[in-house]
Amino acid sequence: MFNGLTHAGCNTLVTKLFEDSTLITVGIIEDNKYMREGWQTFIDYDDDLCVISTFESCESALASDEIPKIDVLILDIGLPGMTGIEGIRLFKELNPEINIIMATVFDDDDHIFDALKAGAVGYLMKKVTPDELVAAIKDAHDGGSPITPNIARKVIQTLHLPDIPEQEKLNKRELQILKELSTGKSYKAIGKSIFLSVDGVRHHIRNIYQKLQVNSRSEAVSKGIARKLIDPDQGV
């Protein structure tokens, strides 16, 4: 039998796994036991899929010999120990043909693009329905890139962002101050939170205004949101 954190109860005989090359083998790495077992149950219900291993962490998956046997891996990001994103490269080294779909609660740009750049072929929110997850597994196995619609919109919006001339790009400190500006803080409060004098804050703000070609805090925040430099929920 195949060993993971829990026994994989496929709805077909295990021998079919070896006799039927069309059967898609699936692995799950998710630290929430109830979600992991729920996913396994409805994935195994499909005649074309078979969950052969489930794990609660990347470390336990890497310590097993199951990764090379998996066609599609459902991978959480927020795991105990190694994150799902950190694990992607290691899983790809063990099985270059594995298709990794992230299933997560994180919908921010950093997690999305870090996962996709690391080698994930899909990105789904955990509220995905059973039918949607089954379809995503088949899509990934067939060469597709299943992505939750709102995540796909974020990716497209980022691709639509205009190219910013090098001289207009904000440095790390300027980005930090722009984010502080968007919260409505005074120069003094900003300086206190980032350990900088008021004069130092003013100096960086002048540079921010010049680079963004704006003349006020509200204009700077608006352009920062438009360029996706800051979260729109932070805007004043």
How do residues 166-209 score in pLDDT, each as one tens digit?
656 788 899 899 999 888 899 999 999 999 999 999 999 999 99
Q: What is the model's pTM?
A: 0.65
Residue 230 confidence class, pLDDT cut points 50, 70, 90: confident
Tell me which amino acid residue 68 is. Answer: P
What is the predicted pLDDT for the residue at 152? 83
User: Residue 120 to residues 16, 19, 62, 140: CA-CA distances in angstroms?
Assistant: 28, 28, 17, 10
Give the separation between CA 73 and CA 88, rounded to whole angstroms.
10
Question: Which residues does 153 contact at the CB level (< 8 Å), separation at least 6?
Answer: none
Q: Which residue has the higher pLDDT, 217 or 95?
A: 95
SS3 80: coil
Check: CB of residue 91 under 8 Å from CB of residue 100: yes
- pLDDT of residue 162 exceeding 70, the answer is no
What is the predicted pLDDT for the residue at 166? 60
Neighbours of 130 (CB within 10 A): 14
Burial of residue 176 (CB within 10 Å: 0-12, 13-18, 19+) is middle
Quote the tokens at residue 117: 């750049």
Share of the chain above pLDDT 90, in %: 60
Residue 81 confidence class, pLDDT cut points 50, 70, 90: very high
The candidate with the shortest Cα–Cα distance to 73, out of 24, 37, 35, is 24
Mean pLDDT across the chain, nearest whole number? 86
Neighbours of 54 (CB within 10 A): 26
Complete domains list, the chain, with CATH:
15-159 (3.40.50.2300), 166-234 (1.10.10.10)
pLDDT in tens, 107-151: 888 889 899 999 999 999 999 999 999 999 999 999 999 998 888
Residue that is written with structure tokens 């694990």 in the block: 87
Question: Quick one: angle between helices 198-212 and 187-194, nearest 10?
Answer: 110
Q: In 45-143, which residue ranges form alpha helices assigned H by DSSP?
A: 58-63, 84-94, 109-118, 130-141
What is the predicted pLDDT for the residue at 20? 55
Give the separation between CA 45 and CA 47, rounded to whole angstroms.
6
Residue 5 confidence class, pLDDT cut points 50, 70, 90: very low
Residue 10 confidence class, pLDDT cut points 50, 70, 90: low
